[in-house]
Amino acid sequence: MQARGLPDTPVALSEPESLFNELSGYLKPEDISQLKNAYLFSQSAHSGQFRKSGEPYISHPLAVTSILGRLHLDIQTLTAALLHDVMEDTHITKAEISERFGKSVADLVDGVSKLDKIEFQTRADAQAENFRKMLLAMSQDVRVVLIKLADRLHNMRTLAVLEHEKRRRIARETMEIYAPIAHRLGLNGVYQELQELSFRYIFPKRYQVLTKASKAARGNRREVVDKILNDIRQRLKDSGLEAKISGREKQLYSIYKKMVEKRLSFSEVLDIYGFRIIVNDIPACYLALGALHSLYKPIPGKFKDYIAIPKANGYQSLHNTLFGPYGTPIEIQIRTSQMHRISEAGVASHWLYKSHDINLDDLHTKTHQWLQGLLETLSDSTDSLEFLEHLKVDLFPGEVYVFTPQGRILTLPKESTAVDFAYAVHTDIGNRCMAVRINGENAPLRTKLRSGDYVEIITAPHAKPNPAWLAYVVTGKARSHIRHFLKTVQYDELAKLGERLLNQALSSLKIDPTSISDFQWQKLARDSGAKSKKELLADMVLGKHLPAVLSKRLLSPGNVASKANGMSEAITIMGTEGMAVQFSKCCRPIPGDLIVGFIKKDQGLVIHVRDCSVIGKMHGNPDNWLDVTWDKNISKLFEVSIKMVAENQRGVLAKVAAEIAKAGSNIDNVTVEGEGAYTAMHFILQVSNRSHLAQVMRGVRRIREIIRINREKS
């Protein structure tokens, strides 16, 4: 059975009967009857709703169902496609869908429904949580993501009615997430169309220019293309090979990407046409390759055998680039009919071609392994945004193929290191790896792998992940497992150190640590965003909390002692507390300023100048504000912001810099703005205290060209 491609333009479905007639080619009559019921149910639920284009909303579920029907998806998937928005946009519940159409259909609809009823802090959080839920459902049933991809494809086809910024945001999300997922699942037609549509809306002017250039070039190159097609047909016929040969024009996004990566103009991209040759069996693929090599010379280093080593999404073909007539490079793909079907339908071929073919079984095994790997990453990620970051990395289209000592082939993203390989083999191998041999030679763990490398990981019982690995690992699995180890396995050591630091702080307040009740600990942990006392102590060592602050908050069951009861004492700031104390960038406090502290989640104690205008805009728990004061013996330098207005004369900046240096201060940063007679200069200086700052400003004021100088706050 020949796979049918997806339509190039939105399907006009003013009459749903045209869809049902199309689907009756492979569905049973009772299946068509169920689809009609689902259509009527969805039409009733969406009654009165319209798309931005003005069409009745039901046109969208019909179009999504049509896309999936062309992939010959099963009746449950098509029913869910007709209903995929009813839970999100109407009052219909999952229980109602389950009762009427079955649990499987209800689960599929639920899997693709957005989480609009949950309050998210940012659009990024909502997007990340949507992907998290979608992939959890997808791990149970891959049809969830097939519906989601068809939904996104139709939305992209009809994107023109939205405003420019919204079009661009949706197109970027499609390019970064949906198109790579389609590629990973082997849905080549969906992948290419999503990429092309995304390119059109992300870079509309570039798309228009390339479209015009491509149309002009098409006529000029038609004669060359026809000659190549005729030559290939004749050579294969002379070699006794039956083959279907087609020429295809490269997509605009593919051309654009090549222009950017290789810094070429459009006229320099010669290979805008590719040729596909479909033969009867695998031996014929290699015979056809030999025949073409006798016709046109191959370009060294361009041959790729994806038949012997299939891509992770099941794709198989021989790829090569040849020198054609007039020196034109020709890209060719040689594959069997079955390989072609899988390249078009990917994981959906499970429903499109019901068979027990070994290649299909292997494809679904690889897809299952990929999904399980995503679930591992999901369980190790602390939040949805971190998971989305890992997902984008794992969907990176470039791949390298490396061998284990047992001869197994592993597929990894480009730029992957030996540590990525170790975690790809097994989590325990990654956690215990201490060295690596690549192609029989010792190599650093940070070594980037290349296709064909033979990799052997050396482990040791005492070895453990190194935080430095996070600087160079590529795969989401490796990154999430390293982070998970550092957060959990080392917690005992961190908590013990945290306990010592806190006991020291309590002792300085003449408080016996054993007198603190469990209730006080539980309340303090809860108020600090920690799950337990151990996590609170570990977070303190990691710089999220200050021992002096925690000790004061433990003084009473209400934790932070109020000023009214006289128990509160100002916390002394040394300036050497590290990550646990941060000096606000808005007002840049320095010793001598009257200051106040604010406990901010994940940032520790943030210090502001008392008259900082930002403080008035912050609405937080009063218990999070603390009295703080400077230590009398501080030797550290602090940043401060200064603004100067000067006459626009040559050499003024040099004079200012000289005076600042003369006063013993350092310039950390300087920006200059303005034109005409006067110039504004913004400096970030390093000073030891307010007296030092006053000395600097006095020196600068002596410069004749300086009109005004003042300290900037907020």
Q: For 668-688, what is each residue's pLDDT tens digit?
A: 889 888 767 889 999 999 999
Q: Are residues 395 and 411 in the same domain?
A: yes
- Give the CATH number for residue 460: 3.10.20.30
Q: Are residues 52 and 188 in the same domain?
A: yes
Domain edge (last residue) among 149, 169, 202: 202
Q: Are residues 116 and 39 in the same domain?
A: yes
Mean pLDDT of the 559-563 span: 37
Q: Is the pLDDT of residue 365 over 80?
A: no
Annotated active-site residue in 22, 89, 231, 453: 89
Q: Are residues 279 and 234 in the same domain?
A: yes
Alpha carbons 639 and 698: distance in angstroms, whole number: 18
- Give the CATH number for residue 666: 3.30.70.260
Examine residue 563 and state whether it is found in any structural domain, yes or no.
no
Examine residue 29 and state whether it is found in any structural domain, yes or no.
yes
- Of these ranges, 69-73, 188-192, 276-280, 518-522, the one predicted with the greatest mean pLDDT is 276-280
Q: Is the pLDDT of residue 144 over 50?
A: yes
pTM, 2 dp: 0.54
Q: Is the pLDDT of residue 393 over 70?
A: no
Examine residue 179 and state whether it is found in any structural domain, yes or no.
yes
Q: Are residues 303 and 388 in the same domain?
A: no
Q: What is the pLDDT of residue 72?
A: 84
- The CB-side HSE value for 261 (13 A sphere, CA atoms) comes to 7
Helix intervals (H) in 463-596:
476-488, 491-508, 518-527, 533-541, 547-553
Examine residue 60 and state whether it is found in any structural domain, yes or no.
yes
Q: Catalytic residue at 386?
A: no
Q: Are residues 255 and 313 in the same domain?
A: yes
Annotated active-site residue in 74, 88, 305, 577: 88
Domain edge (last residue) among 423, 442, 473: 473
Q: What is the pLDDT of residue 119?
A: 43
Q: Are residues 161 and 297 in the same domain?
A: no
Q: What is the pLDDT of residues 25-35, one digit of tens each?
A: 888 999 999 99
Containing domain of residue 697, as a range?
Answer: 638-711
Q: Is the pLDDT of residue 427 over 60?
A: yes
Q: Are residues 319 and 414 in the same domain?
A: no
Q: Are residues 59 and 103 in the same domain?
A: yes
Examine residue 32 and state whether it is found in any structural domain, yes or no.
yes
Q: Considering only 104-113, 390-399, 491-500, which range has the smallest mean pLDDT? A: 390-399
Whether 393 contacts 348, CB under 8 Å? no
Number of structural domains the chain divides into = 4
Q: Are residues 125 and 269 in the same domain?
A: no
Mean pLDDT of the 124-143 span: 64
Mean pLDDT of the 410-435 span: 89
Q: What is the pLDDT of residue 563?
A: 35
Q: Which residue has the higher pLDDT, 339 or 398?
A: 339
**For the chain, what percent of residues have pLDDT higher than 70?**
77
Q: Catalytic residue at 85?
A: no
Q: What is the pLDDT of residue 520?
A: 81
Q: What is the pLDDT of residue 116?
A: 41
Examine residue 598 and state whether it is found in any structural domain, yes or no.
no
Alpha carbons 245 and 225: distance in angstroms, whole number: 12
Q: What is the pLDDT of residue 315?
A: 79
Examine residue 195 and state whether it is found in any structural domain, yes or no.
yes
Q: Is the pLDDT of residue 7 over 70?
A: no
- Residue that has been written with the tokens 């570990």 in this structure: 538
Alpha carbons 370 and 181: distance in angstroms, whole number: 11
Whether 445 contacts 435, CB under 8 Å? yes
> Where does the pLDDT of residue 130 fall: very low under 50, low under 70, confident under 90, or very high at 90 and above?
low
Mean pLDDT of the 274-302 span: 90
Average predicted confidence (pLDDT) for the chain: 79
Q: Which residues pair with 442 in a beta bridge?
A: 437
Q: Are residues 91 and 159 in the same domain?
A: yes
Mean pLDDT of the 59-78 span: 90
φ, ψ of residue 367 in degrees (nearest 5): -65, -40
Q: Are residues 150 and 251 in the same domain?
A: no
Examine residue 30 and state whether it is found in any structural domain, yes or no.
yes
The sign of the CA dihedral 513, 519, 520, 522 is: positive
